[in-house]
């Protein structure tokens, strides 16, 4: 079947619909993690306030809690497809870029986790889309971003360098003012002893893109720096990437502050690759075909591993080594406690204790629950995955 625009768009729509459907399935199996608990209970951000209102209104059902992030994930894919409308000369290139963006580990996971990352990514794409159709910087939107998240300081810094490149004094002044305002309100954490986390940061970027795609990202940024056209997309991506590496020489950074800006490079990467592929004669394209097939295969495998990972517990001796362990089982444990009419507890694992409280288990002194087997206990709760015991909790009734 020949893939023209009439057949390509419906096919892409079906594939993206399946990806979003997989997000719904995955979300229904995730519990609230301890890190997410801290964001909900200790942060004063707009996201925290919204999510607390959302939970108060609809409850802590696993799917309901993550529904806003799936929504922003979906909107981000739509915006990404929209901003690449005139960027590629061939529809297949645009479809490939959109698919890569949608299954990118960092983007796909952001569509499930309670964090600002997917909201920030949506805002960036919205800004770039408005810039694309108006050919003007939307100052009002830039100003509103100041109050959304501290990471938008990176966007203002990118626009500052872009303004220098374009010799746009108005944008230069506005971006500098907004950068100063963002740093005044939020700032970036520079506490702690100076210690290099450069290798750790590189490793995280490799997991966000997948290792082979990250290598090509590095090559593409280098090549565009010296030979390519330096678009606004390039300035946003390279500024975030360069400053994250620079800061990581001194401290451990929160990669979520930088990753949404870095993945903006996907259209540039695909365009550069397709150009390199097509300028070669057919008999000299073998390496490119092998490379792109490996990258796509790894991305697809990563996507399914991210969303359907519980069977991994079957091959792990220590369940806590599972990469998603901190997002599993809290809701199951809370449900099992409620089935036994155990609602007021003290648990000797502080992080798990905080998590099950999000599901309606209250702190108290009626029951003591331990993750370690005591000499005397009244009941035992087991959480299993395919008949393999992952959690054993020992319940002791107090104040008999």
Per-residue confidence (pLDDT) for residue 15, from 0 to 100: 93
Residue 6 reports pLDDT greater than 70: no
Q: How confident is the model at residue 194 (pLDDT cuts 50, 70, 90)?
A: low
Residue 1 reports pLDDT greater than 50: no
Per-residue confidence (pLDDT) for residue 271, from 0 to 100: 94
Per-residue confidence (pLDDT) for residue 2, from 0 to 100: 52
Per-residue confidence (pLDDT) for residue 364, from 0 to 100: 86
Residue 192 reports pLDDT greater than 90: no
| Integer Cα distance of 41 and 84 in angstroms | 39
Average pLDDT along the chain? 91
Phi, psi of 228 (to 5 degrees): -90, 180
Q: How confident is the model at residue 396 (pLDDT cuts 50, 70, 90)?
A: very high
Residues 282-307 have a mean pLDDT of 91
Per-residue confidence (pLDDT) for residue 4, from 0 to 100: 61
Please write the tens of the pLDDT for every residue from 170-191.
999 999 999 999 998 886 655 5
Please write the tens of the pLDDT for every residue from 44-78.
889 999 999 999 999 989 999 999 999 999 999 99
CB 290 within 8 A of CB 94: no
Q: At what angle do helices 211-226 and 266-278 cross, to 10 degrees?
A: 80
Residues 216-245 have a mean pLDDT of 92
Per-residue confidence (pLDDT) for residue 22, from 0 to 100: 96
Higher pLDDT, 154 or 7: 154
Residues 198-202 have a mean pLDDT of 90
Per-residue confidence (pLDDT) for residue 368, from 0 to 100: 93
Beta-strand ranges (E) seen in 56-210 are none
Q: Rounded to 10 degrees, what is the CA torsion of 182, 172, 228, 233?
A: 40
361 DSSP assignment: P
| β-pairing verdict for 388-397 and 379-385 | antiparallel
Across the beta sheet with 388-397, the strand order is: 362-363, 344-347, 367-370, 388-397, 379-385
Please write the tens of the pLDDT for every residue from 338-366.
999 998 999 999 999 999 999 999 988 88
CB 197 within 8 A of CB 251: yes
Higher pLDDT, 253 or 166: 166
């Amino acid at each position: 079947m020949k893939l023209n625009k009439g057949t390509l768009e419906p096919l892409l729509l079906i594939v993206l619909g399946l990806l979003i459907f997989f997000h719904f399935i995955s979300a229904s199996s995730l519990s609230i993690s301890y890190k997410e608990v801290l964001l909900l209970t200790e942060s004063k951000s707009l996201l925290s306030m919204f999510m607390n209102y959302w939970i108060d209104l609809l409850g802590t059902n696993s799917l309901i809690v993550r529904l806003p992030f799936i929504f922003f994930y979906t909107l981000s894919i739509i915006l990404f497809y929209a901003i690449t409308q005139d960027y590629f000369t061939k529809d297949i290139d645009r479809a490939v870029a959109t698919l890569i963006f949608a299954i990118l580990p960092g983007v796909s996971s952001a569509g499930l986790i309670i964090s600002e990352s997917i909201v920030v990514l949506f805002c960036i794409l919205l800004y770039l889309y408005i810039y694309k159709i108006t050919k003007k910087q939307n100052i009002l939107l830039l100003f509103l971003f100041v109050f959304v998240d501290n990471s938008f300081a990176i966007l203002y810094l990118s626009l500052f360098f872009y303004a220098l490149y374009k010799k746009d004094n108005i944008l230069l002044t506005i971006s500098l003012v907004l950068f100063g305002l963002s740093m005044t309100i939020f700032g970036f954490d520079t506490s702690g002893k100076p210690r290099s986390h450069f290798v750790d940061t590189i490793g995280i970027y490799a997991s966000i893109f997948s290792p082979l795609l990250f290598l090509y990202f590095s090559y593409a940024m280098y090549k565009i720096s010296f030979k390519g056209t330096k678009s606004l997309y390039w300035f946003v991506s390279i500024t975030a990437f360069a400053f994250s590496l620079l800061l990581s020489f001194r401290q451990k950074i929160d990669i979520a502050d930088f990753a949404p800006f870095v993945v903006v490079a996907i259209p540039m990467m695909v365009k550069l690759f397709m150009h390199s592929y097509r300028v070669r004669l057919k008999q000299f394209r073998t390496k490119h075909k092998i490379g792109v097939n490996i990258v796509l295969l790894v991305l697809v495998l990563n996507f399914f591993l991210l969303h359907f990972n519980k069977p991994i517990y079957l091959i792990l001796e220590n369940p806590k080594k599972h990469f998603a362990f901190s997002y599993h089982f809290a809701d199951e444990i809370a449900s099992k406690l409620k089935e036994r009419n155990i609602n007021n507890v003290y648990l000797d694992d502080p992080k798990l204790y905080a998590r099950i409280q999000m599901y309606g288990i209250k702190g108290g002194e009626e029951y003591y629950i331990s993750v370690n087997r005591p000499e005397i206990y009244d009941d035992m709760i087991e959480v299993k995955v395919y008949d393999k015991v992952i959690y054993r909790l020992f319940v002791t009734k107090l104040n008999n």
